[in-house]
Each structure stands twice: as structure tokens, then as C-alpha cells.
Structure 1
Amino acid sequence: MQNIDFFFVLNAWPALLQGLIITLQITFWANVIGLVAGFPLALLSSSSFLPARIVARFYIDLFRCTPVLVQVVWFFFCIPMLLDVFWSPVFMGIVILGMNQTAFNGEAFRAAIQSIPLAQKDASVALGLGRWNYVRYVVLPQAIKTATPVLITNAIGIFQQSSLVALVGVADLMYQGKLLSTQTYRPIETFTFLAAFYLVIAIPFGRLAAFLEYRLERLNRI
């Protein structure tokens, strides 16, 4: 039986830290894309204009119903050949995970929008609010508030799924861990450390999402 020794992992901390920085960069910007683009996508998927609704629903279903690994591999290998573009691996990871996050956040926003009572729309019309002012001042604030627990959960998911970009050569935390495991022949210590690290970051945000969901339910009962 192999002796467990985490010295090799601790000694490789600079490389793991560099990988962690890349992981956090990908996670942060993918979530920014998902938040910014998710709400307009939700509006399109709820639109009365049929072509826009069909396109939006197809986009959401495409990313929600196919494995993230397939999306990452297809994007990394097919987009450069189809479009003759050559982006940095980190940028490509941000784009594809951001597109995936947009689909999930779009669905979260759509559910939040549908929970807004129709009476508020009638009241907005009576007050003379135009369509975009109604969306800006009535729909958007309530949609963000209602969807926040799900948005946090989606953010945790994209943080976990960011490890998949290691399979296509992005030097993130998982990639550095795989490299360390190969060099030191210490897979138990390396991947145990990585699992613990992802867990330490994800658990507080998971608890925050659960707390906000609980608070939201209490406010709705008042």
C-alpha cells in the first residue's frame, strides 16, 4: 500500500496557484457573460414574436441538453477549423462556458419573469410606463431577486465544470493537478487535494444559495 504524503502537493503550490488563478478567471468571466446575456435571452424565450422565441428556445435546449464536455471539445476543435480563427485556450474556455452559463441563467430568468403577477404589467400600463421602462424598472429587479439562488447555484456549477477545459490543454487547476500527478506518481494526494479545494470553495456559495432561497420563501409568505 502506498504511503500517503502530501509533501509533493505542498511543494508544487506555485504551479497549482497559477492554475487556480486561471480557473477563477474562467469562472468569473463565464459568469459575467451568463449574467449579462442570460436576461435578454430570457426575454426572447418569453417573447410573443415566434421566430425570436424559437431561436432562443433552441439555444437554451442545445446547451442544456448536451454534455458540457462535448460542448467544450467541439468548440475547441471545430470553431478554429470552421471560422479560421485562433484564440487563446483561456479565451476559448471563457467563451464556451459563458455560452453554456447563458443558457442556464436564461432559463432561471425566464422562470423568474413568469412568476411576476400580470397585475403589475397592467399597473405599469396604467401609469404610462413604456415597454422598456416596464422591463427595466419592474421586471428586471424582481427577476434578479427571484432568480438569485438559482444564479448562485449555476455559478457553482460553472466553477466545477471549468475543470473540463483541462482536457483540451488549458493550464487551469485541474490541468496542473494532472501534470503534478504524472510527474510525482502521487495521484491519491494530488486529486484528494484538488477535490478538497473545489469543495472548500463551493460549499460556502451553496450555503449562501440555500439561505437566500429560504429568505425568499419567507418573504413570499408574508
Structure 2
Amino acid sequence: MDYHFDFSFLTGHIGELLGGLKVTIELALAANAMGIVLGFVLCLMAMSPWKIIRFPTQLFIEFFRCTPALLQIIWFFYCIPMMVDFFIDPFVMGVLALGLNLSAFNAEAYRAGVQAVPREHLDACVALGLKPYQRTLYVILPQALRTSLPVLLTNGIGTLQQSALVAIVAISDLMYVAKSIATDSYRPLEIYSLVALVYFFMSVPFSKLVHIIERRQDAATQR
């Protein structure tokens, strides 16, 4: 292959790439915030003793876990505005699609954490006369969050990477900007290689953090 890499042309596009990176980070942060909070709510609803709450929630979770994220993004972007006959900002639609997808996966992570809470702790809550919301907020949530934290972080990394899918609906994230630059410059190898490195270096610190947390949890379990 007689191809010579030339990254010098990228100096004129630094501002565009930084703008796209900003959008990517904002998307990932907003979707993760939504996923962490809504995921726990969905977990509690899916474990509800009332079937009228449990069944629709489980159906919601399975739908978002068992359909492609790309399809969900496209559906939110094109179908919802047609259904409500109202324009919604594309960034908001991207956050909703990514956030709901993440919430479904986080709900399952939380469920494993809730089920790991010792029965003795719940019995102690009853003995102390704690109300259901107090038991959930002060006993179940902290323990479930600690147990499921590695999975939540891993899911968050996946959402950061999946945020590149919003480029398909013309949201000007890092991937969309890179695609535009590659089309204009006819230098796809350089720009896509650079973008791949950016995603890599954003994900690696969180991946290392997951390993650290897992090692500490394993050490605490062995004591």
C-alpha cells in the first residue's frame, strides 16, 4: 500500500474537532446521569410486588436491551417528532435515546446489587421502624450502588462509545465532525485514526478504575 500519512492538515480543523468533542462529552455525561438515576428507579419498579408496575417495566427494560442502539436513536430522532407533531432539539433526542438505553442496562446491574443486600440488613430496617423510602434510600441504595459500581462504570464507557452513533442523525459530535472533515479532505485514515485514539484515551482511565474497584471488592470479600 503506497499511502503516506499526513496529519498536518488537521491543524486547521482543531477548533471543529474540539467542538465535536465537547458535544460528545456532554452527550455521555447527560446520558450517564440519566442512566444512573433512572436505572435504579426502573430496578425498583421491575422488582415491585405489583404486576401492573412490574410487567410494563420489565417489558421496557427488555425492549431497550434487546434492540440495537442505532435503531433506537433513529426511531427517537425521526418517529417521536412525527408522533407528537412537535420539533425536539436533536441533542435532547440523542440524550433520551442513549440515556434510556443505558437505564435499561443499569437497571439489571442494580437488580443484582439489590439482591446482594443481606436479608439481615432488611430485617434490621423493619426492627428499627424505618419507612420504605428510608430503607430504600439509606440502606438498599448505598449497598446496591457499591456492589454494582463496576458494571455501572462499564456501561457508562459503552455509552460514551455508543454516543458516536448519533452522527447518523447529524448531531455534530466528534464522529460527525470527523466524517465531515474526512469527506472534505479525502484523508479518512488520519482523521479516523485520531478519533479512535481520542475515544481510547477517554475510555482507558475509567476502564482502569473498574479494575481497581473490582480488586478492592474482591479483597473485601475475602476478609
The answer to whether TM tops 0.5 is yes
**Runs of 5+ unmatched residues, structure 1:** none
2:21 match: 20
Does residue 165 (structure 1) correspond to residue 166 (structure 2)? The answer is yes
**The residue matched to 2:48 in structure 1 has which SS?**
coil
Please give the per-residue CA displacement for 1:141-196, whole angstroms capped at 9, x wherever unaligned: 10111111111111100000000000001000000000000000000001000111
Q: Distance in 1 between matches of 2:51 and 2:221?
A: 32
**Runs of 5+ unmatched residues, structure 2:** none
2:62 match: 61
**The residue matched to 1:176 in structure 2 has which SS?**
helix
**Structure 2 counterparts to residues 51-200 of structure 1, below 5 A:** 51-200=52-201
Give runs of ≥4 in structure 1 deviating > 6 Å: none
**Shift, 1:119, TM fit:** 1.7
Q: Distance in 1 between matches of 2:89 and 2:3?
A: 39
**The residue matched to 1:12 in structure 2 has which SS?**
helix
**Shift, 1:47, TM fit:** 1.2
**2:121 aligned partner, one-letter code:** Q
**The residue matched to 1:5 in structure 2 has which SS?**
coil
**Shift, 1:9, TM fit:** 2.2
Identity %: 43
Q: TM-score, normalising length from structure 1?
A: 0.97
**Shift, 1:116, TM fit:** 0.8
**Shift, 1:10, TM fit:** 3.1
Q: Distance in 1 between matches of 2:218 and 2:53?
A: 32
Does residue 210 (structure 1) correspond to residue 199 (structure 2)? The answer is no
**Shift, 1:17, TM fit:** 0.3
**Shift, 1:129, TM fit:** 1.2
**Shift, 1:78, TM fit:** 0.5
RMSD between aligned residues: 0.9
Q: Distance in 1 between matches of 2:125 and 2:79?
A: 47
**Shift, 1:25, TM fit:** 0.7
**Shift, 1:132, TM fit:** 1.4
Q: For this pair of structures, how many residues does the alignment match? A: 222
